[in-house]
Amino acid sequence: MATLWNKGTSATEAVDRFTVGNDRVLDLRLARYDVQGSRAHIRMLEKIGLLSADELAALDAALGRIAERIEAGDFVLEPDVEDIHSQVELLLTRELGEMGKKIHSGRSRNDQVLVDLKLFLRDELQTVREEVLTLFRTLQGLSEQHKEVLLPGYTHAQVAMPSSFGLWFGAYAEALVDDMYALGGVYRIVNRNPLGSAAGYGNSFPLDRQMTTDLLGFDSPVYNSVAAQMQRGRTERAVASVLGGIALTLNKFASDCCMYMCPNFGFIHFPDELTTGSSIMPHKKNPDVWEILRGKCNRILACENEIALLCSNMPHGYHRDYQLLKDVLFPALELMHECLQMTDYMLAHIEVNTKILDNPLYDYLFTVEEVNRRTLAGTPFREAYRQVGVEVNEGRFRYGGGDKSTLKASDLGHTHIGSLGNLCNDKIAALMDAASDWK
- Residue predicted with more confidence, 283 or 417: 417
Q: What's the mean pLDDT in 225-245?
A: 94
Sign of the C-alpha dihedral computed for residues 226, 228, 233 and 235 taken in this order: positive
**For residue 16, is pLDDT > 70?**
no
**For residue 1, is pLDDT > 60?**
no
Region of poorest pLDDT, from 11-25, 34-48, 55-69, 387-401: 11-25
268 membership: H or E segment, kind and range? strand 268-269
Number of C-alpha atoms within 13 angstroms, CB side, residue 74?
A: 6
- Please list the residues that pair with 345 across neighbouring strands: none
**Distance, CA of 400 to CA of 226 (rounded, Å):** 70
Answer yes or no: are the C-beta atoms of 357 and 267 closer than 8 Å: no
Closest CA to 234 of 301, 316, 179, 178: 316
Question: What does each C-alpha distance from 200 to 72, 186, 228, 314, 316 come to in angstroms?
Answer: 35, 22, 7, 15, 9
pLDDT, one tens digit per residue, over 253-278 is 999 999 999 999 999 999 988 887 66
**Distance, CA of 250 to CA of 337 (rounded, Å):** 12
pLDDT confidence tier of residue 94, bands split at 50, 70 and 90: very high
pTM: 0.91
Radius of gyration of the chain (CA): 29
pLDDT of residue 5: 47
**Distance, CA of 439 to CA of 302 (rounded, Å):** 27
pLDDT of residue 30: 92
**Distance, CA of 233 to CA of 307 (rounded, Å):** 7
Domain boundaries, the chain: 13-105, 110-145+164-353, 360-435
Closest CA to 232 of 51, 109, 60: 109
**Distance, CA of 64 to CA of 61 (rounded, Å):** 5
- The bridge status of strand 150-155 relative to strand 158-164 is antiparallel
Q: Collect contacts of 268-276 with beta carbons under 8 A, ≥24 apart.
A: 268/350, 268/351, 268/352, 268/353, 269/350, 269/351, 269/352, 269/353, 270/346, 270/349, 270/350, 270/351, 271/349, 274/346, 274/349
- Nearby residues of 147 by Cβ (< 8 Å), 6 or more positions away: 164, 165, 166, 409, 423
**Strands (E) located in 141-191:** 150-155, 158-164
Answer yes or no: are the C-beta atoms of 368 and 376 closer than 8 Å: no
- What is the amino acid identity at position 231? Q
**Distance, CA of 24 to CA of 73 (rounded, Å):** 15
Q: What's the mean pLDDT in 36-61?
A: 97
Fold of 110-145+164-353: Fumarase C; Chain A, domain 2 (1.20.200)
Fold of 13-105: Fumarase C; Chain B, domain 1 (1.10.275)
Mean pLDDT for all residues in the chain: 91
